[in-house]
Chain A
Amino acid sequence: MPKSLLMISRQAPWSGPSAREALDIVLAGGAFDLPIGLLFLDDGVFQLAAKQDAKALQQKDLSANLQALPMFGVEELFVCADSAAERGLDPTGLALEETRALSADEITALIDRYDQVITL
């Protein structure tokens, strides 16, 4: 059985290429049919903010890439409920509907469940 990998994505989408590069690891894993999960934590939850206008920052929108996750077979999508609440984001109104909001305890259990973890 292949080893599972959890990506913990902690960077806002507009603070540099980090969020995008974290997502690229996840999409590549999905393309190889590997068991891979993605948790949005801390400023990473900003990637899920609805109605972002990337053009105003002369940047490329990450949300289209996020929507590709289910198509790449990545269905284990999670968001830290505390991180979202601290930043005024409603966990039920996020850009990626498939994400499940988790409490701190649930996140501890989630990390335990995966063989390997990358935090970016």
Chain B
Amino acid sequence: MAAVLLTESVMKFAIALFSAAHAPSSRRALLFAQAALAGGHEIVRLFFYQDGVYNASGSVVTPQDEQDLPKQWRAFVAEHQLDGVVCIAAALRRGVLNEEEAKRYQREAVAVGAPWELSGLGQLHDAVQDADRLICFGGA
């Protein structure tokens, strides 16, 4: 259970994630997101960009004694019915395709599906406008 970190008035957060599923910053992003909701705050959107798209991949196999972050993200987004967006250009470049894109580009591997949505960078800007705070994880 995530600790309650934010006790101030209710805030709207946009969360951007740039690092791969095995990076510590990706785990911190999930813990922050859990803490934000536990503190009564709102997450207007999760936006996965750059290597962050791997966090939405159903093709990641995590060793048994390690945290399966893509699975945890998927459960978290589904449970809270969050708006989870994976940047389509970043995902295509890294082979994280949904069914529609795999069909479009004639690729066999489908790595991402519900609750994630593949969409463009406009969704990031839209979230920035909508949120009180943009919180980034795994950037340079």
- Give B76 Cβ to nearest chain A Cβ, in Å: 23
Interface size class of A (residues with CB under 8 A): 10 to 19
B139 near A118 with CB under 8 A, answer yes
Interface size on B, residues (CB 8 A): 19
- Give B36 Cβ to nearest chain A Cβ, in Å: 16
A118 near B16 with CB under 8 A, answer yes
B121 near A118 with CB under 8 A, answer no
Q: Which residues from chain B contact A11 at a C-beta distance below 8 Å?
A: 140
Cα–Cα distance between A120 and B89 once the two chains are bound (Å) = 16
Q: Which of B54-62, B98-106, B108-116, B128-136 contacts A (4 or more CB under 8 A)?
A: B128-136
Find the residue from B49, B93, B128, B140 having the highest chain A CB count within 10 A: B140
Q: Is A70's beta carbon under 8 Å from chain B? A: no
A contact residues vs B (CB 8 Å cutoff): 2-3, 5, 10-11, 17-18, 21, 24-25, 28-29, 32, 34, 116-120
